[in-house]
Structure 1
Amino acid sequence: MDNTSRTRIAISIIFAIYIFFLALIHFMDDFRFLMFKHYEGVSHNLIPLSTTIEYLKNINHYELDTWFMFIFGNIIAFIPIGILAPITFRKVKGYMHVLYITLLISISIELIQYISLMGVLDIDDVLKSVIGSTIGFYGAKIFIINKSS
């Protein structure tokens, strides 16, 4: 087995572990106790940016860590998709492929949260996921371009 194959296998394993932890952070309440979240009677959000704007306007009403995770959590969590998807999957070459993968994963998470009551469906999470994977994809491209020149 050559180095390229070993590297591809290692990156595929890292991608699988990343997807596992992505699911954990979206469906588990606390890593220490691994208790599944359960939401009943909450309002879901299908209006783009409405909950994000509320969090930004009412920053003083939230603990800093809660506020930070709501505003930046999905952005940070999805940066690796933009980096790892093109490396892991040979057919993923351009940004549109990364966008489709991001939308598939993020919308799936939101629908599972809605159906299972293990989270809150929020369109803002999908938008922030796209922002995160876009940062990852173009950040990796810039890094590779700068490294090669």
Structure 2
Amino acid sequence: MKYNKLAVWVMFVCYLGLLFYLLFFSAYRNNVKGIIAYNVIPFDSIKNYINHYDGFRISRLTDNFFGNIAAFLPFGFLIPLLFERNNIYLIFLYSFLFSFIIEITQISFRVGAFDVDDMFLNTIGGLIGYVLVKVFLFSRHMKLN
């Protein structure tokens, strides 16, 4: 299947721009500016989220739990379209490292908390994006044949 790699690069750059805006410059980030917070206990934030879950609302799509997963879906989807050498292990590594860099940068500039659970959820989002692109490419290949 052929696709326009330039268009994918443009989408990737736009995605990164939006992600960096949301993670470092959005109104929410200005509200937490200067605060140093962190969580290094795996699954602590996730457990807290589950314990205080009070039903599904549309705002849940952008909260900490689903928002972190959704934020990295495009990353896992676009990387395989841009680079031929990829597999689920590399996407795992890239997603984790990119998330780690974001978390370190947020706490360094005091525009967010360092949360090991965010890294876990972001990595899950990247892996889901990877699976989705593979399913998409496989289904497109099957339709063409």
Alignment partner, residue 24 of structure 1? 21
Match of 2:75 among 71, 81, 104: 81
Match of 1:99 among 92, 95, 106: 92
In the superposition, relative to structure 1, how do residues 94 and 66 fare at CA in structure 2: closer, same or farther (>3 Å)? closer
C-alpha contact 1:113 1:120 (8 A) present in aligned 2: yes
Give CA deviations for 1:108-127 in whole Å, capped at 9, x if unaligned: 10001111111000001000
In the superposition, relative to structure 1, how do residues 141 and 93 fare at CA in structure 2: closer, same or farther (>3 Å)? same
Considering only aligned residues, what root-mean-square deviation do their CA atoms show, in Å?
2.5
C-alpha contact 2:99 2:122 (8 A) present in aligned 1: yes
Letter in 1 for 2:77: I
Match of 2:33 among 34, 38, 46: 38
Unaligned runs of 5+ in 1: none
Compute the TM-score of the two structures, normalised by the length of structure 2. Answer: 0.83
User: Greater RCO between the two (CA within 8 Å, min separation 6)?
Assistant: 2
In the superposition, relative to structure 1, how do residues 66 and 27 fare at CA in structure 2: closer, same or farther (>3 Å)? farther
Aligned residues: 139
Sequence identity percentage: 25
C-alpha contact 1:39 1:120 (8 A) present in aligned 2: no
* Inter-partner Cα distance in structure 1 for 2:65 and 2:125: 12
Is 1:129 the counterpart of 2:95? The answer is no
In the superposition, relative to structure 1, how do residues 101 and 41 fare at CA in structure 2: closer, same or farther (>3 Å)? closer
Could you list the runs of 4 or more consecutive aligned residues of structure 1 that deviate by over 4 angstroms after TM superposition? 34-37
Per-residue deviation, 1:30: 2.1
